[in-house]
Every structure is written in structure tokens, then in C-alpha cells.
Structure 1
């Protein structure tokens, strides 16, 4: 895919020096495309347009259509990756092609990086690899990435366009308790399954403190006019710290799991395993606890908090897998936000622009931690069910793709001409 898109760019006049396919020697199938449209001012910080071209797995027999053949039907494009993230990758390449064909020369360099490994970051991640080996391909004043979408209601009406500023950190923890065991005909009070179950029950009853950041406060402020039921609490939360803020946050958390997810760190048991025989007392019980940690918090600190909540020193809590880099959310400065408002007003007059924080993880966690403020801006509106992302029958509305194309093209030109560095 990266080689085909590189060929498209070369065909419209980009030079080989400005279009590179960068491939790890040990992973020849994981090619990453890096390209640049040169600007007129070498002192202006570049903009990076980021997307991933790998997709999650799909089983052909489970889908209504072949997931690996793009089909246009009933006003939708159907395929694995139609939403996540090939639509945005295609738009970035299309944007560079259109800009070159127009003869447009921006003030700042406009870079794109289309990478592999976003969906399988535990084994390889293209952005992380590029930062280590080809930092120049990604170095920028700021980046636009996936992570937030426009929201449609059940009738297909546009509700809001979201801007992602920050994302939660994905981290798994392994819980393990061991026991001498014995014959099941002679049970004893000290049972590994019971002790682990009791600890998980304590975890289930625990809630981490609410910590609304700038993006979350802005999200609730912008959402308040559209939600009369919770408008007062949303405005209270959006206004910042006060004696009423915590109570408002608790009511909003209880009203919607999605709101709870952006207000606090969450940890939940997702897998358990115990015992070795049906007629033996368990010698070991384990569980996986998946945490989505607010940006800027250290997973090692969360591990210590889990140990306190579980309340059983016999349960070993270890970090499973690697620890991703952590960083505070990027600032929502006027230089970033105002061009988004202008472009949105041209394409979708009257649709509110809403800041948000993603409860999931994207490649932005690597670029943010590397000092490149990264924002989720797609201009792609999704159905209420999310369009089948990571699930069956993934799709995107044709109208959404074409409008998102125009929105991002307008936005990139605005950023490209900006007189100051954001």
C-alpha cells in the first residue's frame, strides 16, 4: 500500500527525495510512507499529517461482504479499514496530490506519514520506529491524526464535530495469587480463587477520582446546549473547579459510561484463570486487569494504587507487556482551534465543534510524548454505532468521506499559510 501511494505522489511531480518508503529490515511487509510538500519558509514549523494503513483482522465468513474488497453500496463504502484508518490515509495522499496540482506553495512544510503497526503495537509500531530511526520524517510543530470523529444521530443528522486533544493510556496488569492447594475433599478457608475473587470485588466497587482536563471541560461545555437533561451539570463541570464540580462529575459519570470514561482512570477485570484440576484445591489464580489511564499519569503509580485497592499483599500485581510513553494532553491553543472552526463553518454551517479526549489509544501517544503536539481531527462523521470499527461490516458513508476530504483540504491549506507557529 505504501509503495502504491508513493507512486501516486511521484506521478504528479513529487521528487524521489521528498517521497520515501521506509521499511524495517526485519519486517519487510511493514512499509511506511513519508512524504513532504516543501514550504517557502524554512523557519516555519512543519505540520505532520498522520494515519495508519494497517487494519485489525477480519474473518471473511463472518462478514456480509468480503472485508478486504472495497464495495460501494447503499451510500456507504464497505471494507475493513474503511473507518479505521484508510479513509484518512487516502485523504492525506489526495490532499498532497491536489496541492501539487494546484501549484500551491505553503509557508511551512506539509508532511505526511502513513504507517504500519498501529493495531499491533505490542509487536511493532511504525511511528515509534520512525521516531527512533527517521526522526526527520515526523519532526513537526504539530500533527493531525485519527482519534475523533463527527457524530451523527440515528437519522443521519450531524450532531457535532469532535477534536481530540489527548488520549488515555492502555495498560494491562497481571494479578496472581498462589497457594499450596490440596485435595478438594478437604477444603480450607485459604482458597486462591476466593481470595482473588474478593480482591476483584473490591476493585469493582472502587472508582478512581475524577480529573477533568481542558479538553474534557470543553467537551461538556460545548455539549450542554444539546442536552437539556444534563446541561446544568455539564456547565458546572466545564466552568472548572468549584464546590459543585465533584457532585456534577459523579452524576454525569453515572448517567453515561462514555462520560465516566473521560472523567477518570478506569480499571476493569477482563480475564481470569484458576485451578489445575476439578478435584483439587487451586494452587494458583490469575486475572488480567485492563486500565485506561488519564494522560500524564504513570502506569507504575496506578499499579501501586491497584495494590492498595485489592487489599491483599499475597496478590502480586505486575505490569503486563510494555509501558507506552506518557505525556500531558496537548494544548487547545487558538492557533490550532480557530482554523478548525473556520473550515467546519464552511463545510457544515451550524455544526458545533467539540473538544474531546479519546478513551482509546492511537499513534498520537508516541508523537505527543516525543514533543509533537498531536490532535485527532478527521472531519469524518460516523453513525451512532461507530460504523463497525474493529467489528463486523465496517463502513463509512460516501457523503462523510467526500465532505471530510473537502474539510481536511481546506484545513491543511489554512494551517499551511498560517503566519505564526502554533
Structure 2
């Protein structure tokens, strides 16, 4: 068992995590309401890296929207570089919903509270501490490490990772793989054992507007082409439609491992039901089994006694790898001939090998701290900055190692009020991440 007394590196990582949480780098997604928090956070990182001898590149394509990149050379010039990245922005908070100040980084009963404690200033502070330690101590990793701290991930990375990929791709020269969110956290495997999920793939993401049109009329005289009624019918049909289950490599490996380790049986015809037996982890995996469409916004008339001529709805669409050629036709067909569908920009799904040597490095690092722990691939139903890096041919993996109690739902902390993480989980994360970055 590891020494329960935190090491100097673990203490420094915790201090940096708390310092970053206290910088209110809130990303509202609206330019006129975003301050300079992201730039403040990037300048803080720059100061800490420069202090130990790094050369850094800070880019601020819009006021307040800064990202920072630094490189640590490795000992194997033939090995592809590894991009180790975190985003410095966080989603907004409703302070009245929080027990403790969301930017206070307070610790209560061994739990760190604060916006970014999980998403993802915990990892930003951890890799910052490790980068500093490697430089101070003369640690030379196996491969080049490119430490990247991005702005704007919470609004699609337009002024962060996406901008750097488009305008400063040379910063990632020689990189073949990347590691960041969302994965690495433990979930129950049975018999007090833990699985540590690694995101080897991510769903694609797009949105669409579906619109029904009729003619405006007085509410006292119902019409046969009421746009609200027609839209409601289409939205219900879309919401009720199930795309088929697809055994992606990540899903196949996850189900294989859980079948072998627990004896669980997973049936395609009732896969969501079977996954429920895994508890909160099951709902996460269930969202990865098929392409999904969620109606999220409805817009219609503004006056009760006026039948509007138009009604529309917004759809959130998450697509599996390899489904790019089919999902639009399916949604348009389900919506019906009298409904128009306007498509927004689509970001493709990404899919990295589930048997890459990096997975073995992750497993070795976990085994050092948790001898029975098992690294298990899964498909992330959401998106990260790995999608932008993928355009440079960089294969992305989600793995922020966190050993947590069996009933602690790490994924459920993303964007939640009272976002929190056990402090000893952060110490675990520091130890495991240091091993990964040294040996990867």
C-alpha cells in the first residue's frame, strides 16, 4: 500500500488545483459575457512553467481567450510526442445551488469542492505540478511531452484547441497521441475490485433545427395545419426513435471484460436494461451503444390566442463512429415529409485503437497503485478537445486517473452543483499520472 502521507508532488498538485479553481475562468459561450478568466489562468500556468525553465507559447486570439503550450523533450527521438492537455475554462454556476463557494476551492471532510474540481482543473493542476517536477528533477520522459492548456473547450474549442490546430499546428509537430479527459475514473467491477475507464473513442456531435409551417390564425378557430401540432408530432417521433445498437470496438471490449469478470449477460434486445445492473456506470455506457437524438429546445408562438405560422425545435445529435453516412436520412425520414430539417456543422466521431501500447502503460501505472484494477476501454458519448487534435492525425485517449469510492459517480460531477472530488483521489491521480507521463 502507498504511504498515506502525501508526497511533496501531491501537495504541490493539490495547491495548484485549488489556485486554478479560484480563478473564475467561466465560459458562458457568449462573447459579451466572458471576462478574462481564461487568460488569467493561462498566465498563471505560464508563470509556474517559466519559473522552472520552460519556454512557453501563449496565444490569445480574442481578449481573455488564451491558451498555453510547452514542450519537454524525451529521450527517444523516434517516438511520437504525447500531447497532455487540459482546458482552463469552466461552465457557469448558479451560486445559490452550492453548499460551499463554487470558486472557493474549500476542503471539507476530505472532499475538495469547486467548479473545475472534476472538469477539469484537477487535471490541469496535476499535469502542471508534474511538468514542474520533471523539469526541476531532470526527469527525461521516454517521448516528448507537449503540455497544452486550452481555452474555450466548454463552447466547442473555437478559440482554444480548434484555433491552435488551424493557426499553430507546428506546436504539435511530431505528436501521435494525446491524453486528457474524460476517463480514468474508477467504477465497480465486483468483489471490491475496480475498473478504470479509458475513452478510446468519442461520439460525433451535431445539432439541427426541425421546423413545421402552417398558416397563422385566431386561436378560436383550429386549423388542420397547426404548426405547433405538426411539430409536436414530429418531435415525439424523433424522440421515440431508437437507432440500432452497434458493437463498436470500445463497447465490444467493455462488454467482454464485464462478462468475463462478473458473469453479466448483455443482450442487444435489452442492452440498456442489462446495463442498469451496473448502477450509475451502466447509464453512461448505455449512452454509447447507439446514435442518439435529444430534442432540447422548442420555439413557437408568443400569444395564447394566436396560432403561429411556424414552430421549431432544436435537436442534440450524437453519432457513433462510422454512422456519418446514414443518420441524417434517418432523422429526416422519421420527422416526416412536411417537416424541414436544417443541419448545423457536424464534428465527426473519433476512434483510437483499443490495443495501443499506451493502454498497456495506463494499465501498468494503475496496477502499481491498485493491483486488482483493470483498465477498460469505453466510448465517450460527449466531446473533448481530442476531436480537434485528431485533425492533425493525433489519436486521442481520455484518462484522468481517479480512484474513488464505489458509489461515487465521477461523470455525474461534470457541470453539477457542488462539483467535488475526494482529496485522496487527487493524490492517487498525481502518482498515477506521473508514472504514465514518465513511461508513455
TM-score normalised by the chain length of structure 1: 0.86
Q: Shift in Å at residue 186 of structure 1?
A: 2.3
Q: Does residue 126 in structure 1 map to residue 160 in structure 2?
A: yes
In 2, the alpha carbon distance for the partners of 1:216 and 1:411 equals: 24
Map 1:8-23 to 2 at 5 A: 8-14=48-54, 18-23=55-60
What does residue range 2-151 of structure 1 map to in structure 2 within 5 Å? 2-14=42-54, 18-24=55-61, 27-121=62-156, 124-139=158-173, 140-151=175-186
1:2-401 to structure 2, matched below 5 A, reads: 2-14=42-54, 18-24=55-61, 27-121=62-156, 124-139=158-173, 140-152=175-187, 159-225=194-260, 227-228=262-263, 231-233=264-266, 248-255=267-274, 256=276, 257-298=283-324, 301-311=326-336, 313-320=337-344, 322-324=345-347, 326-381=348-403, 383-384=408-409, 386=411, 388-401=413-426
Distance in 1, Cα, partners of 2:137 & 2:319: 44
Residue in structure 2 matched with residue 411 of structure 1 by the alignment = 436
Residue 101 to residue 134, structure 1, CA distance change in 2 (3 Å): same
Indicate if the aligned counterparts of 1:80 and 1:394 stay in contact, CA closer than 8 A.
Answer: yes
For structure 2, the 5+ residue unaligned runs are 1-40, 277-282
Q: 1:199 to 1:178 in 2, by over 3 A?
A: same
**CA offsets 1:53-82 (integer angstroms, 9 cap, x no match):** 110011333311111121122111111001
Q: Is contact 1:113-1:137 (8 Å) kept? A: no
Q: CA deviation at 1:7?
A: 1.6
Equivalent residue of 1:67, what SS?
coil
Contact 2:226 2:308 in 1 (8 A): yes
CA distance in 2, matches of 1:269, 1:91: 37
> C-alpha displacement at 1:106, in angstroms?
2.9
* CA offset digits 1:67-123 (Å, max 9, x no partner): 11211221111110010011111111111112122212234211110101000127x
Q: CA RMSD in A?
A: 2.2
Which contiguous aligned blocks of 4+ residues in structure 1 show a shift greater than 6 angstroms? none
> What SS does the corresponding residue of 2:269 show, helix, strand or coil?
helix
Please give the alpha-carbon distance, in whole angstroms, between the structure 1 residues aligned to 2:233 and 2:65: 45
**1:35 & 1:98 partners in 2: Cα distance?**
14
How many residue pairs get matched? 388
Structure 1 match to 2:28: none
Q: Whole-Å Cα distance in 1 between the matches of residues 89 and 193 of structure 2?
A: 28
Structure 2 distance, partners of 1:336, 1:41, is 15
Per-residue CA deviation, residues 351-394 of structure 1 (Å, 9 max, x unaligned), is: 12111111111111111233100100110245226463201011
Check whether the contact 2:251–2:288 (CA below 8 A) recurs between aligned residues.
yes
Give distance in 1, aligned partners of 2:179 and 2:143.
15
C-alpha change, 1:158 and 1:120, in structure 2 (3 Å) is: farther
- Distance (whole Å) between structure 1 residues aligned to residue 229 and residue 250 of structure 2: 41
Gaps of 5+ in 1: 234-247, 416-422
Measure, in 1, the Cα distance between the counterparts of 2:130 and 2:315.
Answer: 42
> SS of the counterpart of 1:232?
coil
Structure 1 residue 340: Cα displacement: 1.1
- Structure 1, 404-413 or 201-210: larger mean CA deviation: 201-210
Tell me: CA distance 1:197–1:392, structure 2 relative to 1, closer, same or farther (3 Å): same
CA shift, 1:327, in A, is 4.6
Question: Are 1:130 and 1:138, in contact at CA under 8 Å, matched by a contact in 2?
Answer: no
1:286 is displaced (CA, Å) by 0.9
Q: CA deviation at 1:127?
A: 0.5
